[in-house]
Amino acid sequence: MKEIMIKCEGVHKEFRLRGNIIRALIDVNLEIEAGEFVMVQGPTGCGKTTLLNVMSGLDLPDEGSVILDGEDIARANEDRLSNIRRQKIGFVFQDFNLVENLTAIENVEALLWPTVLRTKEIEDRAIAALRAVDVLERKDHYPGDLSGGERQRVGMARAIIHQPRVLFGDEITGNLDPVSGRNVMELLKKLNKDLGTTMVIVTHDSNLVQYGDRVIKMDHGRVVR
Residues that bind other proteins (CB under 8 A): 49, 53, 58-59, 78-79, 82-87, 89-91, 93-95, 97, 99, 110-111, 114, 158-159, 162, 170, 174
Q: Using alpha carbons, select from 140, 6, 4 the residue that is nearest to residue 64.
A: 6
When the beta carbons of 7 and 85 are compared against other proteins, the nearer one is 85
The minimum distance between CB 106 and other proteins, in angstroms, equals 13
Q: Give CA–CA dist 171/205, Å, rounded.
A: 8
How many CB atoms lie under 10 A from the CB of residue 23?
Answer: 15
Closer residue to other proteins, CB minimum distance, 162 or 224: 162
CB 220 within 8 A of CB 45: no
Shortest reach from residue 2's CB to other proteins, in Å: 26
Distance CA 49, CA 67 (A): 18
For other proteins, which is the closer residue by CB, 109 or 150? 109
Give the span between the Cα atoms of 23 and 133, in whole angstroms.
Answer: 38
**Closer residue to other proteins (CB): 79 or 194:** 79
Show Cβ contacts of residue 155 under 8 Å, excluding neighbours closer than 6 positions. 92, 93, 96, 97, 98, 172
Q: What are phi and psi of 141, to 5 degrees?
A: -90, 150
CB of 13 to other proteins, least distance (A): 12
Tell me how far, at minimum, the Cβ of 166 lies from other proteins, in Å: 13
Q: Nearest distance from residue 173's CB to other proteins, in Å?
A: 14
CB nearer other proteins, residue 34 or residue 81: 81
